[in-house]
């Protein structure tokens, strides 16, 4: 009688049945007008932060997402940094963010001189759980002069930043209700969710302001890049001014009325983004087909499941995500070792923010779901060309 297969070997077989013998985690492909637009950009000599492709990229993103205003910047972290400032985050404020997120979310809060305040997630979305958060805030905060104040620290809790993990939308209606009831600004970290929607509305457009990312491993890429999206024309104008070194427009004089940032997206990166955005619909279709293949392949393994988009949502399935059951969490490292040894690049979820050295002393709620998910999530090879 043959020896029973281990979970790790079953996972390797399941991935190989979908993507073949080897695969990286996620990489872009350039099958459209990338070379054409880049050459046009080079021929024009407009390769820095001024040029027609920057304007076009912003316009195309606005049309795609439904946001009224888009400001293209150098990366998603800078987008979130400025978005927080547009939401009124000040030094010594607290900002509620998920413990289960990429470190850029916490870093952007820190750049504002504010303090991350870590909150729990829910398993059905991988994002902030609004009901648990509501109960927590009812216990630890009070309203003073129309502001949410942490009773333990005396600091104002200024904003709530949901992050749409791996492209799966949070319970945005529940989150919005919390922000209304507790006088919080809603700033969406939509870095991973270009193409994801809730009831037909694009993620990043529900809050006061949102942030997108176009890093090299995102669903489309500009090499590096990000965008601030908002429906507020005043905030959009301020964001564009602040990210353009706060320079007052003039034919030749250099007058700056604030401490601004050199954050504007270069034209050469925007050229790449315009070509990539033209292909997004096909990329999303391929991502969904890959999800369906993984879902079928892993349905035969009882200890695991593939993360499915929440009800009422369309996820972009940026990173396909394997979820181990509670009884198999101790096999995560064995699965990671076996898959990577087999040439199938997988990775765990991020270490939770409250465990990182810069954020050990930050306030936090109890985090049972996030701590469980940290031990059970594995990202699978997810490039859209794998089928």
- Are 293 and 330 found together in one domain? yes
Alpha carbon distances (Å) from 136 to 120, 140, 173, 234: 10, 6, 18, 33
Our count of domains for the chain comes to: 2
CATH number at residue 297: 3.90.1150.10
Domain final residue, candidates 250, 277, 304? 277
- Are 120 and 143 found together in one domain? yes
Helix (H) or strand (E) holding 229: strand 226-230
| Whole-angstrom distance, CA of residue 114 vs CA of residue 108 | 9
Burial class (CB in 10 A: 0-12, 13-18, 19+), 242: buried
| Whole-angstrom distance, CA of residue 174 vs CA of residue 349 | 24
- Residue 311 forms part of a structural domain: yes
Q: Are 294 and 19 in contact (CB under 8 A)?
A: no
| Whole-angstrom distance, CA of residue 286 vs CA of residue 116 | 36
Alpha carbon distances (Å) from 34 to 142, 286, 299: 52, 19, 38
Q: Which two tokens stand for residue 289?
A: 């087909």
- Are 79 and 132 found together in one domain? yes
Sheet with 197-198, side-by-side order of all strands: 201-202, 197-198, 313-314
- Are 62 and 198 found together in one domain? yes
- Residue 161 forms part of a structural domain: yes
Instruction: Give pLDDT, residue 5.
Output: 67
- In the chain, DSSP finds a helix count (H) and a strand count (E) of 12, 16
Within 3-114, strands assigned E span: 69-73, 94-98
pTM for this prediction: 0.96
Burial class (CB in 10 A: 0-12, 13-18, 19+), 293: middle
Domain final residue, candidates 211, 246, 277? 277
Instruction: Give pLDDT, residue 387.
Output: 76
Instruction: Give pLDDT, residue 156.
Output: 98
- Are 110 and 191 found together in one domain? yes
CATH number at residue 188: 3.40.640.10
Q: Could you read off the pLDDT of 71-90 as tens digits, one per residue?
A: 999 999 999 999 999 999 99
Q: Which two tokens stand for residue 66?
A: 């439904």
Q: Are 93 and 116 in contact (CB under 8 A)?
A: no
Burial class (CB in 10 A: 0-12, 13-18, 19+), 222: buried
- Are 222 and 330 found together in one domain? no
- Are 193 and 162 found together in one domain? yes
CA neighbor of 249 nearest in space, from 83, 62, 50:
50
Backbone angles phi, psi at 370, to 5 degrees: -60, -40
Helix (H) or strand (E) holding 324: strand 321-324
List per-block mean pLDDT (blocks of 10 residues) for the chain, which spans 387 residues: 71 97 96 97 92 96 98 98 98 98 98 98 98 98 97 98 98 98 98 98 98 97 97 98 94 94 97 98 98 97 97 98 97 97 98 98 98 98 92
- Residue 2 forms part of a structural domain: no
- Are 269 and 330 found together in one domain? no
- Are 110 and 205 found together in one domain? yes
- Are 13 and 97 found together in one domain? no
Q: Which two tokens stand for residue 196?
A: 């994801």
- Are 247 and 317 found together in one domain? no
The two beta strands, 226-230 and 69-73, are antiparallel
- Residue 1 forms part of a structural domain: no
Task: Look up the domain containing 15 and give its range.
Answer: 7-27+280-386
Which residues contact residue 148 at a Cβ distance below 8 angstroms, ignoring those fewer than 6 apart? Answer: 137, 141, 156, 157, 158, 182, 183, 184
Q: Could you read off the pLDDT of 251-267 as tens digits, one per residue?
A: 899 999 999 999 999 99
| Whole-angstrom distance, CA of residue 15 vs CA of residue 87 | 43
| Whole-angstrom distance, CA of residue 56 vs CA of residue 40 | 14
Domain final residue, candidates 219, 253, 277? 277
Q: Which two tokens stand for residue 171?
A: 């319970």
- Residue 284 forms part of a structural domain: yes
Instruction: Give pLDDT, residue 50.
Output: 86
- Are 337 and 218 found together in one domain? no
Q: Are 169 and 315 in contact (CB under 8 A)?
A: yes
Burial class (CB in 10 A: 0-12, 13-18, 19+), 3: exposed
| Whole-angstrom distance, CA of residue 376 vs CA of residue 323 | 6
């Amino acid at each position: 009688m043959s020896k029973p297969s281990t979970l790790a070997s079953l996972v390797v077989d399941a991935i190989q049945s979908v993507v073949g013998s080897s695969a990286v985690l996620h990489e872009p492909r350039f099958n459209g007008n990338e070379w054409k637009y880049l050459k046009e950009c080079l021929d024009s000599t407009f390769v820095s932060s001024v040029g027609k492709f920057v304007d076009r990229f912003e316009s195309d993103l606005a049309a795609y997402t439904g946001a009224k205003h888009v400001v293209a910047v150098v990366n998603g972290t800078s987008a979130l940094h400025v978005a927080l400032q547009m939401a009124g985050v000040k030094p010594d404020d607290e900002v509620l963010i998920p413990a289960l997120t990429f470190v850029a979310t916490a870093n952007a809060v820190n750049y504002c001189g504010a303090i991350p305040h870590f909150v729990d997630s829910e398993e059905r979305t991988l994002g902030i759980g609004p009901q648990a958060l509501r109960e927590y805030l009812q216990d630890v905060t009070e309203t003073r002069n129309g502001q949410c104040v942490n009773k333990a620290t005396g600091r104002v809790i200024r904003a709530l930043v949901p992050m749409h993990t791996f492209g799966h939308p949070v319970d945005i209606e529940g989150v919005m209700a919390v922000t209304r009831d507790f006088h919080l600004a809603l700033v969406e970290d939509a870095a991973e969710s270009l193409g994801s929607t809730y009831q037909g509305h694009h993620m990043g457009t529900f809050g006061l302001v949102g942030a997108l990312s176009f890093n090299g491993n995102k669903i489309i890429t500009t090499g590096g890049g990000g965008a601030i999206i908002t429906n507020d024309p005043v905030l959009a104008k301020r964001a564009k001014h602040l990210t353009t070194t706060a320079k007052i427009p003039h034919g030749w004089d250099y007058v700056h009325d604030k401490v601004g940032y050199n954050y504007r997206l270069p034209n050469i990166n925007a050229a790449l983004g315009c070509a990539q955005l033209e292909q997004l619909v096909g990329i999303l279709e391929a991502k969904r087909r890959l999800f369906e293949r993984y879902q079928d392949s892993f349905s035969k393994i009882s200890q695991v499941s593939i993360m499915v988009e929440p009800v009422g949502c369309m996820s972009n399935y940026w990173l396909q995500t394997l979820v181990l059951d509670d009884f198999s969490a101790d096999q995560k490292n064995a699965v990671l070792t076996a898959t990577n040894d087999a040439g199938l690049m997988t990775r765990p979820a991020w270490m939770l923010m409250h465990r990182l050295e810069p954020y050990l002393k930050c306030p936090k709620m109890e985090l049972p779901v996030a701590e469980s998910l940290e031990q059970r999530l594995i990202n699978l090879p997810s490039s859209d060309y794998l089928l």
